[in-house]
Amino acid sequence: MKERILVIEDNELNRELVTDLLEASGFIVYQAREAEEGLRLAREHLPELVLMDLSLPGMDGLAATRALREDHAIRHLTVIALTAHAMKGDEQTALQAGCDGYLTKPIDTRTFTGKIRDFISLAKAQTT
Ligand code: MN
């Protein structure tokens, strides 16, 4: 079965890039432009991984991750933060908010899908 990724990212170019890379690697991708839509899609599809941009209009990615962790239907989902620039503070804050890991933007197109697969494998190993 194909694994499913939910991409919550308001930047259209980055959302399309990530989607193209993931689909080219065989993933099914759901896209959201803001947090509320993302949380709704998370509940609807229960994807194997949520890619969460931290900088979103309205509810930001940190608040969305906290909301996800407080929702029994989706709190178990793997959430990987997308952080702009390699800011150490952002990364620590992401983990404290409940993210399982993070990737920094701009993403490295050569290694991106491999890292996504690693995060999914790690999450599966932790639940078995
Ligand atoms: Mn953004």
Query: pTM here?
Result: 0.95
Query: What angle is formed at CA 86 by the lines to CA 80 and CA 91, rounded to 5 degrees?
Result: 45
Distance 117 CA to ligand 1 centre (A): 23
Q: Residue 7: is its pLDDT beyond 80?
A: yes
| CB-CB contact of 9 with 50 (8 Å) | no
Backbone dihedral angles phi then psi of residue 42, each to the nearest 5 degrees? -65, -45
Distance 11 CA to ligand 1 centre (A): 5
Q: What pLDDT is attached to residue 24?
A: 98
**Domains, the chain, ranges and CATH?**
4-127 (3.40.50.2300)
Distance 8 CA to ligand 1 centre (A): 9
Region 3-18: what's the mean pLDDT? 97
Over residues 45-91, the pLDDT tens digits come to: 999 999 999 999 999 999 999 999 999 999 999 999 999 866 668 88
Q: Cα dist. 12→9, 117, 118 in Å?
A: 7, 23, 25
Which tokens go with 55?
């900088």
